[in-house]
Chains A and B, each alone.
Chain A
Amino acid sequence: MADELVLEMRGIRKEFPGTVANDDVDLDVRRGEVHALLGENGAGKSTLMNILYGLYRADAGEILLNGRRVEFASARDAIGAGIGMVHQHFMLIPVMTVAENIVLGVEPRKGFLLDERTAEKRVRELSERFSLAVDPTALVSDITVGQEQRVEILKALYRGADILILDEPTAVLTPQEAHELFEIIRSLQADGKSIIFISHKLKEVLEIADRITVLRRGKKIETVQRAGATEASLARAMVGREVLLRVEKAPAQPGDVLLSVEDLHVHDERGIEKVRGVSFDVRAGEIVGIAGVDGNGQTELIDAITGLMKSEAGAVKVAGRELREASARKMLDAGVGHIPEDRQRRGLVLEFSIAENIALHDYSKPPDSKWGWLFPARLVERAGRIIREFDVRGGGPLSAAGGLSGGNQQKVVVAREIARDPKVLIAAQPTRGLDVGAIEYLHRRIVSERDEGRAILLISLELEEIMSLSDRILVLYEGEIVGEHTPDVSEQEIGLEMLGGRERPAA
């Protein structure tokens, strides 16, 4: 049965406005195989799987299931054809029991009543058969994330899934839970189920997959057997060897320590410790880049430094002054500039004019205002100056920020932060979603701000960006700094650390 193809995707192409997410991608999956889909963020893995699951329609290409051509108009069709998907963000209802969540939509009935006993029995049988230990009567809100994932898997199996898509399944798990998940996958495999395992972590792919398909920038690079593949070969396929965007810059001339983070601990809103004792310094005139895979504590680290989130322990010092419990306002006043990772949700009030957005931090100080009285003409005048200086196109000081293109919106944010003359500039994913021209501009700008003597902390999920801009590189993995490098380090080395590929140095 080993070579029987259950799924073939041929020549899949999918375009979104401005980008080609999938470009002539082939994928074939055999019965009883674990097939890993490997690639960086934005490589097109999720798009491909959403097409398979009926959530998107491909612009070109075909899908064959057990040799027959199929068309899915919705997730319902895909479920009916035996495809199950465990989304990265679970689709579970916290106030309902495990059994209720699993049978929702295909409930066993006793007359017109819901047959809870049968539901629980079937769930119990299923969970024993695949050793997915979970209590059917427990409320979803009371179980762990690992158990929630099992419920999602059971949900797919209950609907008769033969092909199971797991989207970044280990992203939310602890190492122990991940280990248990692999056991489950093996037992599903033994039962003849096929699993598509989406990941960007080399180590686990090599541990669990039978075959590995690597995607890069929407294209399929190769499909390889696990035997013979190494972390290095996969990393090369994943990251590629294209010429990177190089930024011209002189060697850094580090000065005084302007930002100092000492043993910072931060919990997220669910109370999970996301930053675990991070310490580092950023000096005037240097760019410190923090590399890491999404969700390893970057957001919490930035929010704690900028006063948007409370930290549990540790200290943040700006130019020597300790500012741990400070509010966002105090941090701004202490000279911290912050280019937030989501400009539309946080960085801008889209309905506000450009002038108002530029004044978002300083509206309450002269010259913008005096004794609570705002001087819109001054806002507009300053905005006009900044728009010219930063070459913001698409609108004047009075146009709404929401009407600008993404790149120009980001220019407004960057202009606002830089124009405040901050000592420390925190740039979180400053080029996310921007086109090449805008990226180039921003990179040059960040370097020139460094040369002005600012301390710059750069956080990015794009390793290339970190490598080309930073004077020092820190690697964040599971809330801890696991490595520090100079920019001449090889990508592979950093990549391995980002993916948890190297043992953490003993504390």
Chain B
Amino acid sequence: MSWAPQTRQTPVGKWLRNPVATGYTGMALGVFAAFLGIPPFTSRTATWSLIVGIIAIMCGIATVTRGRKRLGLGAIATGIGGIGLGYLATRSSVDNLNIVFNASLIAQTFAFATPLVFAAIGGMFSERSGVVNIGLEGMMLMGAFWGVWGADVGGSWVVGLLVGMAIGAVLALVYAVFAIHLRADQIVGGTAVNFLALGITGYFFFQLYHGNYVSQGVSTIPNIKLPWISGLHFLGPAIGNLNLMIWVSFMLVIASYIVVFKTPIGLRIRACGEHPRAADTVGINVYAVRYGAVVLSGVLAAAGGVYLSDGFGGGTFNDNMTAGRGFIALAAMIFGNWRPAGAFAAALLFGFSSAIALRLQVYSPSASTLFNVLPYVLTLIAVAGVIGRTVAPAADGKPYRKQ
């Protein structure tokens, strides 16, 4: 590392020399190119998409020549895709675009993203401590059912939320015993959790509610009306009337970032996930940390489930309600590189594609499917290491044996 002053080092020059910066800028521009064709920009010629896309590709080339090959190729691919999508958008009618792409799309994106955010952050805690959790789907499903049951029986959504989270914790604890103490294969254990949750929720849904929608008038998680915003032109429909849990999810992202990266607890969790032996030799109780993290992941995934049934779903439940959202959350966590902000961004992206898919269903079922499948395709590409490289904690998934 050289601290010698460099001559004529302008910010732009510095940025150009940094392949990571140019790579990510290229990718952002590529995405932007696709958006130029749709509201609020609604460019009617493909020229703008073309120009922005070409800049993105140039950034990508610059990145490749600076040695970050994968990142650069990612930027080039995004640029080409952006031009293509932007061009397609210019060929659709403005009316249709206005129905699909409007301010309430933002609200819907948040609504779809929130269960993913909760579960993804939960999964992040578990995996940061070194325990793979593919049982997120099951923990979420348990939260969804028992949350709405709690709200029904307890007469309040607060009770529902607490019951849901508690049941999520119990299921996570069972998993933790198998994964940590019994050193069972964590993938097998997580799969078991998913099956168990499917059976238990289905069984009790029928036993308690005969498989019908939970009784009408269940206390649901309220929306937060922001009176000084809801009247505004764009912001009103976008964020003026969001569910409480959506705001909680925003705070969760910030809080989990602080916990993981700025507190002693977070340092210890990460140490257990990276090098448990090293953590052990300085006196950290690896088992305790891992139990805590896995149970927390169950609580958070279940909270996402409660939102799904008692918030987003308006107090209803149906069989296998999560329908793979736990796996999308897992994907979001991986796509977000095991970081809170990354997981949040990925959850938003995946929530956005779900929201678009829902809106497009009327116009083009094929395009709708394309957006539904996007999270999985993107994650597959991400784990294949085509764009950048996802790096799991070093000891993720490896049972630890004390000496």
A residues contacting B by CB (< 8 A) are 55, 75-76, 79, 87, 91-96, 100, 104-107, 109, 112-114, 116, 135, 155, 159
B267 interface neighbour in A75, A94, A100, A155, Cβ under 8 Å:
A100
Contacts of A95 in B (CB 8 A): 270, 274, 394
Instruction: Knowing A55-B403, A113-B258 are in contact, say whether A104-B268 is a contact too (CB < 8 A).
Output: yes
Is the beta-carbon distance between B277 and A104 smaller than 8 angstroms? no
B residues contacting A by CB (< 8 A) are 1, 258, 262-264, 266-268, 270-271, 274-275, 277-284, 394, 403
Kindly state the separation between the CA atoms of A266 and B384 in the bound complex, as whole angstroms. 29
Is the beta-carbon distance between A93 and B274 smaller than 8 angstroms? yes
Q: How far is the CB of A474 from chain B (nearest CB, A)?
A: 36
B275 interface neighbour in A55, A92, A112, Cβ under 8 Å:
A92
Q: How far is the CB of A160 from chain B (nearest CB, A)?
A: 13
Instruction: Knowing A55-B403, A113-B262, A114-B263 are in contact, say whether A92-B278 is a contact too (CB < 8 A).
Output: yes
Q: Which residue of A is nearest B278, CB measured?
A: A91
B264 interface neighbour in A75, A79, A96, A109, Cβ under 8 Å:
A109
Is the beta-carbon distance between B274 and A105 smaller than 8 angstroms? no
Contacts of B278 in A (CB 8 A): 91-93, 104
Q: How far is the CB of B68 from chain A (nearest CB, A)?
A: 17
Instruction: Knowing A75-B283, A96-B271 are in contact, say whether A114-B264 is a contact too (CB < 8 A).
Output: yes
Question: Could you tell me the dominant secondary structure of chain B's interface residues?
Answer: helix
Is the beta-carbon distance between B275 and A93 smaller than 8 angstroms? yes
Kindly state the separation between the CA atoms of A94 and B1 in the bound complex, as whole angstroms. 18
Question: Could you tell me the dominant secondary structure of chain A's interface residues?
Answer: loop
16 cross-chain CB contacts under 8 A = A75-B283, A79-B283, A93-B274, A94-B274, A95-B274, A95-B394, A96-B267, A104-B267, A104-B278, A104-B279, A104-B282, A105-B279, A106-B282, A107-B264, A116-B262, A155-B282
Q: Which residue of A is nearest B395, CB measured?
A: A93
Contacts of A159 in B (CB 8 A): 282
Is the beta-carbon distance between B281 and A96 smaller than 8 angstroms? no
Contacts of A107 in B (CB 8 A): 264, 267
Is the beta-carbon distance between B283 and A114 smaller than 8 angstroms? no
Instruction: Knowing A79-B283, A105-B284 are in contact, say whether A113-B263 is a contact too (CB < 8 A).
Output: yes
Contacts of A109 in B (CB 8 A): 264
Kindly state the separation between the CA atoms of A112 and B262 in the bound complex, as whole angstroms. 9
Kindly state the separation between the CA atoms of A55 and B402 in the bound complex, as whole angstroms. 11
Is the beta-carbon distance between B271 and A104 smaller than 8 angstroms? yes
Q: Which residue of B is nearest A105, CB measured?
A: B282
Kindly state the separation between the CA atoms of A388 and B282 in the bound complex, as whole angstroms. 52
A91 interface neighbour in B264, B270, B275, Cβ under 8 Å:
B275
Contacts of A75 in B (CB 8 A): 280-281, 283
Is the beta-carbon distance between B284 and A104 smaller than 8 angstroms? yes
Q: Which residue of A is nearest B277, CB measured?
A: A91
Q: How far is the CB of B389 from chain A (nearest CB, A)?
A: 14
Q: Which residue of B is nearest A53, CB measured?
A: B281
Is the beta-carbon distance between B274 and A76 smaller than 8 angstroms? no
Kindly state the separation between the CA atoms of A105 and B289 in the bound complex, as whole angstroms. 12
Is the beta-carbon distance between B283 and A76 smaller than 8 angstroms? yes
Most buried by B among A87, A92, A96, A104: A104
Q: Which residue of B is nearest A106, CB measured?
A: B282
Is the beta-carbon distance between B268 and A105 smaller than 8 angstroms? yes
Contacts of B264 in A (CB 8 A): 107, 109, 114
Contacts of B258 in A (CB 8 A): 113
Instruction: Knowing A76-B283, A105-B284 are in contact, say whether A114-B267 is a contact too (CB < 8 A).
Output: yes
Contacts of B394 in A (CB 8 A): 94-95
Kindly state the separation between the CA atoms of A155 and B278 in the bound complex, as whole angstroms. 11
Kindly state the separation between the CA atoms of A109 and B267 in the bound complex, as whole angstroms. 12
Kindly state the separation between the CA atoms of A12 and B215 in the bound complex, as whole angstroms. 73
Contacts of A104 in B (CB 8 A): 267-268, 271, 278-279, 282, 284
Contacts of A116 in B (CB 8 A): 262
Instruction: Knowing A96-B270, A100-B267, A114-B263 are in contact, say whether A105-B275 is a contact too (CB < 8 A).
Output: no
Contacts of A55 in B (CB 8 A): 403
Kindly state the separation between the CA atoms of A104 and B278 in the bound complex, as whole angstroms. 9
Kindly state the separation between the CA atoms of A159 and B283 in the bound complex, as whole angstroms. 11
**Closest 8 A/B residue pairs (Cβ):** A105-B282, A91-B278, A107-B264, A76-B283, A93-B274, A93-B275, A114-B264, A91-B281
Most buried by A among B267, B268, B394: B267
Kindly state the separation between the CA atoms of A383 and B350 in the bound complex, as whole angstroms. 58
Contacts of A79 in B (CB 8 A): 282-283
Kindly state the separation between the CA atoms of A92 and B281 in the bound complex, as whole angstroms. 10
Kindly state the separation between the CA atoms of A31 and B157 in the bound complex, as whole angstroms. 66
Kindly state the separation between the CA atoms of A94 and B283 in the bound complex, as whole angstroms. 19
Kindly state the separation between the CA atoms of A48 and B394 in the bound complex, as whole angstroms. 31
Q: Which residue of B is nearest A107, CB measured?
A: B264
Contacts of B279 in A (CB 8 A): 104-105
Kindly state the separation between the CA atoms of A104 and B276 in the bound complex, as whole angstroms. 12
Q: How far is the CB of A95 from chain B (nearest CB, A)?
A: 6
Q: How far is the CB of A75 from chain B (nearest CB, A)?
A: 6
Kindly state the separation between the CA atoms of A343 and B190 in the bound complex, as whole angstroms. 34
Kindly state the separation between the CA atoms of A105 and B280 in the bound complex, as whole angstroms. 9
Q: How far is the CB of B292 from chain A (nearest CB, A)?
A: 15
